[in-house]
Chain A
Amino acid sequence: MTEPIIEFKNFSFKYNSQAESTLKDINLKINKGEKILLAGPSGSGKSTIGRCLNGLIPNIDQGEITGQCLVNGKDITKTSLFDFSFTTSTILQDADSQFIGLTVGEDIAFALENDCQSKDKMHQTVNQWAKELQIKELLTQSPQSLSGGQKQIVALAGVLVDESPILIFDEPLANLDPASGLKTMAIIDKIQKELNATVIIIEHRVEEVLSQSIDKIVLVNDGKIIADHPTNQLLHVDILEKVGVRQPLYLKALAAANVDLGSIQKLDKIADLPDSDQISQKLTSWTNQISLKKDKSIKQPLLKLDHVGHQYSKHQPYPLQDVSATINKGDFISIVGQNGAGKTTLCRIICGFISNEGKITLKDQDLANLSIKERAEKIGYVMQDPNQMISQKMIFDEIALGLRLRNVDEDTIKQKVNQTLKICGLYPFRHWPISALSFGQKKRITIASILVLEPEIIILDEPTAGQDWKTYTEIMDFLKHLNNLGKTIIIITHDMHLMLEYTSRSLAFAKGKLIADTTPIELLTNPELISKASLKRTSLYKLAKHYSLPDPNKFVQAYINFEQQNWRDEDYE
């Protein structure tokens, strides 16, 4: 059992297009049948390690290799991509790029088609795996009709047909709602046990991955392996957050309540934490010492939705219908719910991109008569992918675009754009081309380009999807800063902790209906709503339950308040 299936020996790699090595002197052994989490911030080199294991390096990505990397006994410099494909199977991050067939069945069969297998044999294999993964009823459906979680499972089925001994998952949780994320992790676990496969999960969302047992965490930063320990051991070392990977929340909460993590033997599962009255008491007293400030300010109604709905086509199973809500000035609202529940549709309606039933008013003005352009001066919309919003080459021009199209004079534009750049912390970059910026910075550009029109409400579609903790914090802190300046902000999100930590109110959607309009904490205490909207409790709640705290919600709230105390506005001045 202890023979290594993967072995890096003093391995370094430098992409031809880059000046510095991406991987530096890597030494790593992974044994057959192990389940590994490869964690690290964006740009740390964790994906590059993955690309060595499936042969993309050096077969597709060219560069300089020193040292040696053996995968299943084969030297990667001497093995073709074709040979690799039977050893290593990869599930890519972007399910839409991996799912290339016109139907589910065709996509699962893709590799078999390329092997020239007979039609009968293919159908047999496809049926077998579809049954195994419980997607038989999807076989004739097209990719457009599937949810993010379903696409992920189809992509998995498409590589399982090879029965390779090594499976690599590249950020499998990036685009999934919380419930689908949990389900995906459970499926990975099940498959791994059945096939006795070696599984490598590349992720920065440690807490979610740890919902199933993981043998070992390998932590990568700046091209080097900085930790390689069994999960429990690694969690005892306070190292994750030093490199910008978020530690599981329950551990942070325990540490905040002055519980000595070193004295607890097993940290990797809440269920395995020791039943200790001492810890219970520490948590309870910590909860009590934190003051819960109630928000007593009277809110001014801003946007009113009155029985709003939209149906794309007659065949749509769950059209958005009958949404009524009032959004107040200064609200920071999260819109949550399963993929396809109508979240994006609602935002498009508010912005006037699509027509709607019912009535929408902003400060008593009916929006029905305003064009998209006119509405945008009151309500700004930021798309998920900044690359789909950016049309100019230079930062200044991109932010100025909306004003220029409104024929504002150039002096005013200059003044307004510079002011916005300062608010957004982008002023030093104003003469840069946009192509030189990071994802987080591009996101800020797109927010700035909306902000410059001085809308009262800003709506953002999944602003942090697929981002590591550092970028996540950068984007969310910036939004909080804007909220503190008095802007009303609405975000669509799948991230439960984001919802709790940053937003003050949640609208939950399921099957086209608004099923809850309440505080995030209240939402996550209602098991029925949680299951209907495909949400999931955070580990903080589970921790409180584990220690039978009198009021778990108060504990969660206390932790959030604790985190917010450390927050400062100053970075933007």
Chain B
Amino acid sequence: MNDSKILGYQPGNSFIHALNATTKMIFLILVSIACMVTYDTRFLIAICILSLILLKIAGIKWKQVSFIVKFIIVFAIINIIAVFIFQPTYGETLYHSRTVLINAGYFTLTAQELFYLFNVSLKYICSIPLVLLFLLTTNPSQFAASLNKIGVSYKVSYAVSLALRYIPNIQESYWSISAAQQARGNELSKKASLGKRIHGTLNIVTPLIFSSLDRIDTISTAMQLRRFGSKKKRTWYVAESFSLADYLVTSLAFILVLVVILLFKVNSGRFYNPFV
């Protein structure tokens, strides 16, 4: 029952663990945006390799992330097939040329389409190692402080921290309620009909939601009694100062963004086009 398969912080003492959470967050956000914007194949491959190396440095084991990777691969394949089925000629339009590889009527496969699909998959996967790295090496306590430091209001930052604080409690409630409902005779297995499953899920979800919502009042009272929200700012018990490594990593992130902007000029657009 606690086979929850949710990614979480794993303490360690690598160089990456030691980095300030804010640094890691800035790096993650900037590089993700860079990967989102560009379609330059060389840049995407470079980031892919870099982030795999980082995973290695952080000492992350395959089995810690294997279930995610498998899921992403399945998702990426389905999505790529869908993209191909809907518009097999999309690559030609993007790259302004046509090199037929397999001739099959509507489903004619061109080198351009294949290259486009390759780029799409790269975009899906290149930022994943970075996210995994962030989740597995960052103490959730520092999450809120870091969000606040990069400019998110402290109230919203604290809301994120509260969410992380109460996810395990609500998950525990979910399991207990679900078990009690199954004992009442609620069947959620695939054998049951759709109507029954909807009904069954509602019987679990309603008490879960209502008993959790009851807590909002108590928790907000407790926070107000301890002066949350009374000032325009707040400090953080877990905040950490920047070291030289932090400045270097942050600079690297900005450099990567600059590279993407430069690539825009070089490629005259988002796409790197090897066909012309």
- A residues with CB within 8 A of B: 54, 56, 60, 81-82, 85, 89-90, 92, 94, 96-98, 100-103, 105-106, 109-119, 122-123, 126, 142-144, 158-159, 312-313, 348, 351-354, 371-373, 375-376, 380-381, 383, 385, 387-391, 401-402, 405-406, 449
Residues of B bordering A, CB below 8 Å? 1-2, 140-141, 161-162, 164-165, 168-169, 173, 175-177, 179-187, 202-204, 206-208, 210-211, 214-215, 218-219, 221-231, 233-239
Interchain CB contact under 8 A, B176 and A373: no
- Do B140 and A102 have beta carbons less than 8 Å apart? yes
For the complex, would chain B's binding face be called helix, strand, loop or mixed by DSSP majority? helix
> Would you give 8 A-B contacts (Cβ < 8 Å), ordered by A?
A85-B227, A119-B236, A143-B165, A353-B1, A353-B176, A375-B183, A387-B211, A389-B177
CB distance from A145 to the nearest CB of B (A): 10
13 more A-B residue pairs beyond the given contacts A82-B227, A110-B226, A114-B230, with a C-beta to C-beta distance below 8 A: A96-B169, A113-B237, A114-B226, A114-B231, A119-B236, A313-B2, A353-B1, A373-B182, A376-B182, A383-B176, A391-B181, A391-B203, A405-B186
Q: A351 and B219 in contact (CB under 8 A), knowing A110-B226, A158-B226, A390-B207?
A: no
Say yes or no: A351 contacts B223, CB within 8 Å: no
Given contact pairs A101-B165, A143-B165, A159-B226, A402 touches B185 in the complex (Cβ within 8 A): yes
In the bound assembly, the distance between CA atoms of A100 and B206 in angstroms comes to: 24
Contacts of B218 in A (CB 8 A): 92, 94, 97
Give which listed residue, B177, B210, B215, B231, contacts A97 with CB less than 8 A.
B215
Interface pair B234/A114, CB less than 8 Å apart: yes
Task: Check B207–A115 contact: CB distance below 8 A.
Answer: no
Closest-CB distance, B188 to chain A (whole angstroms)? 11
What CA separation (Å) do A47 and B180 show in the bound complex? 32
B184 A449 Cβ-Cβ under 8 A: yes
Q: Establish whether residues A102 and B164, one from each chain, have CB atoms under 8 Å apart when the complex forms.
A: yes
In the complex, which of the residues B175, B181, B237 has the most CB atoms of chain A within 10 Å of its own CB atom? B237
Chain B nearest Cβ from A446, distance in angstroms:
9
**Minimal Cβ-Cβ distance residue in A for B177:** A388
From B164, B225, B230, name the one whose CB has the most chain A CB atoms within 10 angstroms.
Answer: B225
Check A383/B234 contact, CB under 8 A, given A373-B185, A376-B185.
Answer: no
Q: How far does the alpha carbon of A126 sit from the alpha carbon of B235 in the complex, in Å?
A: 14
Chain A residue numbers with a CB within 8 Å of B175 are 353
Contact A119 B184 (CB under 8 A): no
Q: Could you tell me the distance in whole angstroms from the C-beta of B92 to the nearest C-beta in chain A?
A: 52
Q: Across the interface, name the chain B residue whose C-beta is closest to A161.
A: B226
Beta-carbon nearest neighbor of B223 in chain A = A100
Q: Note all chain B residues with C-beta closer than 8 A to A143.
A: 165
Q: What's the Cα separation between A312 and B3 when bound, in Å? A: 9
Report the Cα distance A353→B183, complex, angstroms.
8
A81 to B221, CA, bound (A): 10
Residues of A within 8 Å of B168, CB to CB, are 142, 144
Bound-state Cα–Cα, A444 to B51, Å: 57
A381 to B185, CA, bound (A): 13
Contacts of B2 in A (CB 8 A): 312-313
Q: Are A389 and B180 in contact (CB under 8 A)?
A: yes
Asked if residues B183 and A380 are in contact (CB atoms below 8 Å), the reply is yes
Q: In the assembled complex, which residues on chain A have CB atoms less than 8 Å from the CB atom of B180?
A: 381, 383, 388-389
> What is the minimal beta-carbon distance from B243 to any residue of chain A, in angstroms?
15
With known contacts A56-B221, A110-B226, A388–B173 Cβ distance under 8 A:
yes
Residues from chain B with Cβ under 8 Å of A105 in the complex: 237-238
B211 contacts across to A, CB distance below 8 A = 385, 387-388
By a CB distance below 8 angstroms, the chain B residues around A142 are 168
Determine the chain A residues whose CB is within 8 A of the CB of B177 once the complex forms. Answer: 383, 388-389
- Contacts A85-B225, A373-B183 hold; do A387 and B210 have CB atoms under 8 A apart? yes
In contact, A97 and B184 (Cβ under 8 angstroms):
no
Give CA–CA (A102, B236) in the complex, Å. 12
| In contact, B183 and A113 (Cβ under 8 angstroms) | no
Given contacts A96-B169, A373-B185, contact A387 B214 (CB under 8 A): yes
Question: For residue B231, which residue of chain A has the nearest CB?
Answer: A116
- Cα A100 to Cα B180 with chains together (Å): 27
Q: How many angstroms between the C-alpha atoms of A242 and B183 in the bound complex?
A: 41
**A103, closest chain B residue (CB):** B141
B219: chain A residues at CB < 8 Å are 97, 100
Residue pair A389, B226 in contact (C-beta under 8 Å): no
- Which one of A96, A106, A388, A405 lies within 8 Å of B176 (CB-CB)? A388
Contact B179 A351 (CB under 8 A): yes
Contact of B202 among A98, A391, A402, A406 (CB under 8 A): A391
